Structure 1
């Protein structure tokens, strides 16, 4: 599992082998069972995660009780609630494992300590956040400008395995449609691709 982390360290830093090993030795890796809630809506975030294996869902519950899925995280993706560094700010999301998952677990104190020891680690984190922020902006712009069918086709193109890993009602929520609409769209897309 640590080979995934080494790949990121190699991609974003020029650390020596000894420095990389020191970082890997300090990181906490934990296994979580399917259904484990990592953070509940309303709690103050204290940890961040990096998915080595598994699938994690981010969602919020509206006052009417309806769930709205805002993100799925799979292998090689970081999970961070960006206002977590503000200790007075409660999370607007619940984060839950949809599969048995293996995650790198970070906390603010450890993160700050590691940044002091390894300045390139702070640079790597900043680069990853900038890349993810750019991706999220592009995804949001595409989402609001596209039809439900276009959203499904985009997901099918970008993350085809997600469709098999996630319950249909959660996938529908993520795509901004009802489960019934998603079912119709999936059927139509399958028929088109079978021609």
Structure 2
């Protein structure tokens, strides 16, 4: 059950057998059904989860009731509300499974223990935060500098493992267009030689 996570961690740090055992003991395995909320807006995020199986979306709903999808995450990726988790403040986001999912979860208290016992893990989580920031910066830049067609093409190039697993209306919400407009974009793309 820990192989994929151990492989991920080994890209950044080397652990002894004892450290690996300690790390595993601080994780909780969770199996959750499709359409399960791991976090709802207003709750304090108490987890960071490594996805063993499944597809998960992070989104918020504005005052008019419109959903904006911030992120999709699949096998080998992490999911959490970093701000709510690190600051222990109410979340503005919802995190929901789109498929039956299997997760390895570390809670807030166990992460503090992990850093105390194996300080090298701070490097792993620092890299995760840096990657998240990079993705957000790219999304912001794309939102102000690219057409909807360019954003859609970038999405399918960057996340090919997600495209076939989520409904088109959710992809539309991710790239910031209406489902009808995305349908027009896709139709135009398929007509090109």
TM-score (norm. length: structure 2):
0.92
RMSD, aligned CA: 1.5
Report the counterpart of residue 94 of structure 1 in structure 2: 94
1:53, distance to aligned residue in structure 2 (A): 1.3
1:17, distance to aligned residue in structure 2 (A): 3.0
- Gaps of at least 5 residues in structure 1 are none
Question: Are residues 146 and 180 of structure 1, via their aligned partners in 2, closer, same or farther at CA, if it must alter by over 3 Å?
Answer: same
CA offsets 1:138-174 (integer angstroms, 9 cap, x no match): 2321332100000010111111231211111111111
CA offsets 1:40-74 (integer angstroms, 9 cap, x no match): 11112222212121111111111222211111111
Query: Structure 1 runs of 4+ off > 3 angstroms?
Result: none
Q: Counterparts of 1:77 and 1:156 in 2: how far apart (Å)?
A: 17
1:63 is paired with a residue whose SS is coil
Q: How does 1:11-30 map to 2 (within 5 A)?
A: 11-30=11-30
Report the counterpart of residue 40 of structure 2 in structure 1: 40
2:10 is paired with a residue whose SS is helix
Aligned length: 192
- Gaps of at least 5 residues in structure 2 are none
Report the counterpart of residue 186 of structure 1 in structure 2: 186
Q: Counterparts of 1:175 and 1:131 in 2: how far apart (Å)?
A: 19
TM-score (norm. length: structure 1):
0.91
Asked whether the equivalents of residues 9 and 20 of structure 1 are also in contact (C-alpha less than 8 Å), the reply is: no
Q: Counterparts of 2:12 and 2:46 in 1: how far apart (Å)?
A: 25
Asked whether the equivalents of residues 54 and 100 of structure 1 are also in contact (C-alpha less than 8 Å), the reply is: yes
